[in-house]
Amino acid sequence: MIITGYRTVVVGTPWRELAIIEVHTDEGLTGLGEVRMVNKTDTLLAAIDELAPRYLIGTDPFDVARLAWQIEVGEYGLPGEVGASALAAFDIACWDIMGKALGQPIWRLLGGAFRDEVPAYANGWYQGDRDPAIVADLAQQVTARGYGAVKIDPFGAASSTLTPAGHRLSTEILQAVRDAIGPDRQIYVEMHGRFTGATAAVIAHDIAGIRPGWLEEPTLPLDIGGLRQVRASTPFPIALGERIHHAGELRGFLEQNLVDIVQVDVTHHGGITGFMRLVGWTNAYNVLLAPHNVCGPIGTAAALHCCIAAPNVLVLEHFNDFADVWVHDIVDNPPRVSPAGTFAKPTAPGLGLSLVDEVVAAHPRTGGRLALYREGWERRQDVSAYAR
């Protein structure tokens, strides 16, 4: 079987664009991939168009290790965020084709089912004012929906430090969420790399009472010293990895024991092949995986198949029950979170879903992006609506 061509299409929402690839073969099988590129959709599409004729067209879709080597090593220039995401789009589509060719869901090709369902955590649910009572009410709605865990960045547009008032408001929001959802559900505290090590360490100390399930990206990705300072100041787990795009970039974090939960995004880390590379390696360090996922249903399905197969997975992120709920409908069989807060094991061959072209066509590009250092980003509206 040989790959003969591809097409790309972008689904637009107010704050994100979902780039979808459909890869075609000479046997009539097609495969889907998806990437929600952070704010650089045009750049991703250009990388896809530059790399596909070189390394995708004319190859066997089963040869994913060679495809990865070509883009990660053979290109000489490092793939970075965009190159690793283009590779992920190709790789996920190839796995979809493999599953269809063999009549098996992808997880059966990754070692089989380690688990039958995958816990989900909710993101994108706090789109109201930064008011503790309002956020608490929204959090209660999320857990009433069945989710056993929520993630929140309560820090507004903070950068490097917090004002005393900002610190007080942020901690009050987190305490209100804990009071609203009770002691038995997880609160993952998202810091988006906002803080210096000292500021993050103070925050970690002051929010210990809510018992966070993890502290996510407390410092910028390359601020190892700051991260070490946070690590020394809190017993709570540290999660990071959504801005890691090649396995080698994880070495320092693992070898220095600076991470407990690795959050690489399947669609920014070389796809299913890139993610599964990390499973054994992180396991050797007794570290868990919790894939970052801001995708629509195709990227979510790719992550879900990995999570079914990989033993050391903790939980999978999900936006689509609270942000742009209609994105479920761009495919015929989207992964859904049950009333028990979990994704079920997919059963159909490949990823197990097909595009619904009419819905895709009804949601063209928006230029949607996220501006995390502007007040109001939590509302996930068009960026022109943000305060500057």
Return the active site residues: 192, 292
Helix (H) or strand (E) holding 273: helix 271-284
SS3 category, 235: coil
Give the chain's radius of gyration (CA, Å). 20
Report the candidate in 229, 284, 275 with the shortest Cα–Cα distance to residue 255: 284
Distance, in Å, from the CA atom of 318 to the CA atom of 297, rounded to the nearest integer, reads: 10
**What CA–CA distance (Å, rounded) separates 254 from 262?**
9
Q: Rounded to an integer, what distance in angstroms lies between the CA atom of residue 270 and that of residue 79?
A: 10
Tokens of 68: 């990865």
Contact in structure between 44 and 85 (CB atoms under 8 Å): yes
The letter for the amino acid at 117 is E
- Rounded Cα distance, 160 and 193, in Å: 9
Q: What size, in residues, is the chain? A: 388
Residue type, 220: L
Q: Alpha-carbon dihedral of residues 267, 54, 366, 333, nearest 10 degrees? A: -50
Are 240 and 263 within 8 A, CB to CB? Answer: yes
Q: Can you read off the two tokens belonging to residue 202?
A: 């103070």
Cβ-based burial of 58 (10 A; exposed 0-12, middle 13-18, buried ≥19): exposed
Question: Distance between CA atoms of 310 and 192, rounded to whole angstroms?
Answer: 26
> In terms of Cα–Cα distance, which of 153, 155, 127 is closest to 142?
127
| Whether 166 contacts 158, CB under 8 Å | yes
Residues 6+ apart with CB under 8 A from 287: 254, 259, 260, 261, 262, 312
Q: Which two tokens stand for residue 125?
A: 């649910």
